Structure 1
Amino acid sequence: MQRAHIQSFFDPATFTVTHVVSDPATRKAAVIDSVLDYDPKAGRSSHESADRVVAYVRESGLSVEWLLETHAHADHLSAAQYLRQQLGGRLGIGAHIREVQATFRKVFNALDMNEEGAEFDCLFEDGERFRVGELEVEVIHTPGHTPACLTYLIGGDAFVGDTLFMPDYGTARCDFPGGSAATLFRSIRKLLALPPHTRLHLCHDYPPEGREPAWECTVAEQRERNIHVHDGVTEAEFVAMRSARDKTLAMPTLLLPAVQVNARGGLFPPPEDNGVRYLKIPVDLL
């Protein structure tokens, strides 16, 4: 079977990477972790980032079968609904999105928000397999950053979401609702048990000064050089480090709008009786 072709798009505003994965034999494709541009100061959304993906898909003669999310992101809004309008495709996420929806339905008193994942076309379970064209995709449940985090394994390529960052940046925070540093450590060790040459495709990069953004490395590189979880780091050591570090981190700029939209599968809340859609800010709650 041919290896997947991967084209990645980096969004500097949110440090997010969107991956378009296609099967060379059938020209079928999946879009993983798309970005909807959002200006929090103006409350205005736009499609510049998503339109780059649309243009690439059309120019390459691809047919989108899947719009995949590794989890309900807290640092950018998903463009899945816009991409579905433009390109088609079924929207998939991990089955544990139900837990995320139940949490944020209460946080935002969002009575319209479904708690059964109905906004998504497919809720993937750990170990489930599906196809993009002739490419087989294996779903690996990798919680810790959030309860619903997934990795999509396609041959020798793994799309890990926020579970891991580049080795010089480390790992994802675990202080969001349902997060757990111990759980994240175990998820990471599951990934690092993959063959050493497996390519890990990341959802974000926050490059230090002097390094260009990057979003691909191997299992071997992570095991050798990841500053948080290289070989030899114990679970207790990781939990202590991660917990202390998370206490120093500010909330992501787009957290409040992002989780309201992403837990709805990329949909904004329904319009109110004046025809306007509103995002909520809970005061003194978080």
Structure 2
Amino acid sequence: MADPQIREATRIVEAASNARPAVIRSFFDEDTFTVTHVISDPATAKAAIIDSVLDFDPASGRTSFASADKVIDYIRSEGLEVEWLLETHAHADHLSAAPYLQEKLGGTLAIGRHILTVQEVFGKIFNEGTRFARDGSQFDRLFDDGDRFRVGSIEAIALHVPGHTPADMTYVIGDAAFIGDTLFMPDYGTARADFPGGDARTLYRSICRLLSLPDQTGLHLCHDYKAPGRDTYAWETSVGEEREHNVHVRDGVSEDQFVAMREARDATLGMPRLILPSIQVNMRGGHLPEPEDNGMRYLKLPINAL
């Protein structure tokens, strides 16, 4: 295996099979089809929260915290200490609740370093001007590919898996990989790659990288939309299941075949319902835009931009 980061991730996964297993509790928000994961170390009661949701009503412009409060209630009822608030990427389908959770629970807010690319691209689209910092300073830590960290005593590694967006990250924590939008359940396929900075060929190569992890590696997804014929939501699979059954990228699907399929499929898709508010907030680490001179905060709606 030539990829040193994947080699290290493989070591972490295999070592975890001999250790006390982590506890994973997932929260599904049906309004945005988003899954927030909490992974905790039973030996230390330390935890990480991955891809949280801030409730947002686009018709009224109101935010609320019901989804995040469920996570808070769970953390407190289990006596957990939050070490990390992890974002797999700047989501286009929901707003992050990370600042609210950090205020209530603490923890280090982290994302991949390539958020700087997203900030630069969307800073221009939203005409943010000089008040909007494009240096990732809205986050506490920017991960590079291969950066190591821990959740309590559980070893973890951050992997850069671009293609859906330039900044997508997977977090391998013990024998669990939290992969954001890169893959969905095997019967639903893979992420789209037509957002600014996305690329289907890059996505294929990132997926191949993830699917070179051990077959038993648990894959924990950020979304599920229920594939045709399936009546229940699901968000947990494995490397082995994806390699054998993924309808877009199972073993035997070539890069050129995938790119042709993905680009044709993406051309038929509309923009996510919350993409414009989500990106404006999430590129700021979940913070709302600064108040204007009347004390009000505003989200912009660029016309014919996307």
Identify the TM-score tier after normalising by the shorter chain: over 0.9
Cα distance, 1:164 vs structure 2:
0.2
What is the rounded CA distance, in whole Å, between the counterparts of 1:5 and 1:285 in structure 2? 43
**SS of alignment partner, residue 273 of structure 2:** coil
Aligned amino acid, residue 297 of structure 2: R
Aligned amino acid, residue 252 of structure 1: P
Unpaired segments of 5 or more residues in structure 2? 1-18
Partner of 1:254: 274
Cα distance, 1:93 vs structure 2:
0.1
What is the rounded CA distance, in whole Å, between the counterparts of 1:128 and 1:210 in structure 2? 37
| 1:194 equivalent in alignment to 2:194 | no
| 1:114 equivalent in alignment to 2:133 | yes
**SS of alignment partner, residue 240 of structure 2:** helix
Unpaired segments of 5 or more residues in structure 1? none
What is the rounded CA distance, in whole Å, between the counterparts of 2:209 and 2:226 in structure 1? 25
Cα distance, 1:133 vs structure 2:
0.8
What is the rounded CA distance, in whole Å, between the counterparts of 1:57 and 1:110 in structure 2? 36
Partner of 1:274: 294
| 1:100 equivalent in alignment to 2:128 | no
Which stretches of structure 1, 4 residues or longer, exceed 3 Å deviation after superposition? Answer: none
Residue 67 of structure 1, aligned match among 85, 90, 111? 85
Cα distance, 1:56 vs structure 2:
0.2
**Root-mean-square deviation over aligned CA pairs:** 0.7
**SS of alignment partner, residue 165 of structure 2:** coil
| 1:175 equivalent in alignment to 2:176 | no
What is the rounded CA distance, in whole Å, between the counterparts of 2:285 and 2:120 in structure 1? 14
- What are the equivalent positions in structure 2 for 1:207-246 lying under 5 Å apart? 207-208=226-227, 209-246=229-266
| 1:147 equivalent in alignment to 2:180 | no
**SS of alignment partner, residue 99 of structure 1:** helix
Cα distance, 1:131 vs structure 2:
0.9
Cα displacement string for residues 89-146 of structure 1 (whole angstroms, at most 9, x for unaligned residues): 1100000000000001100011222111000000000001011111111111100000
Aligned amino acid, residue 189 of structure 1: C
What is the rounded CA distance, in whole Å, between the counterparts of 1:176 and 1:225 in structure 2? 26
**SS of alignment partner, residue 162 of structure 1:** coil
Residue 134 of structure 1, aligned match among 136, 153, 161? 153
Cα distance, 1:156 vs structure 2:
1.2
**SS of alignment partner, residue 285 of structure 1:** coil
Residue 160 of structure 1, aligned match among 170, 179, 191? 179
Cα distance, 1:210 vs structure 2:
3.8
Partner of 2:284: 264
What is the rounded CA distance, in whole Å, between the counterparts of 2:80 and 2:163 in structure 1? 34
Cα displacement string for residues 6-43 of structure 1 (whole angstroms, at most 9, x for unaligned residues): 00000000000000010100000000000000001111
Aligned amino acid, residue 78 of structure 1: S
Cα distance, 1:211 vs structure 2:
2.2
**SS of alignment partner, residue 195 of structure 2:** coil
What is the rounded CA distance, in whole Å, between the counterparts of 1:211 and 1:20 in structure 2? 25
Cα displacement string for residues 199-219 of structure 1 (whole angstroms, at most 9, x for unaligned residues): 100000010354210000111
What is the rounded CA distance, in whole Å, between the counterparts of 2:174 and 2:294 in structure 1? 50
Normalised by the length of structure 1, the TM-score is 0.99
Residue 205 of structure 1, aligned match among 204, 214, 224? 224
Percent identity between matched residues is: 64
**SS of alignment partner, residue 71 of structure 1:** coil
Cα distance, 1:54 vs structure 2:
0.4
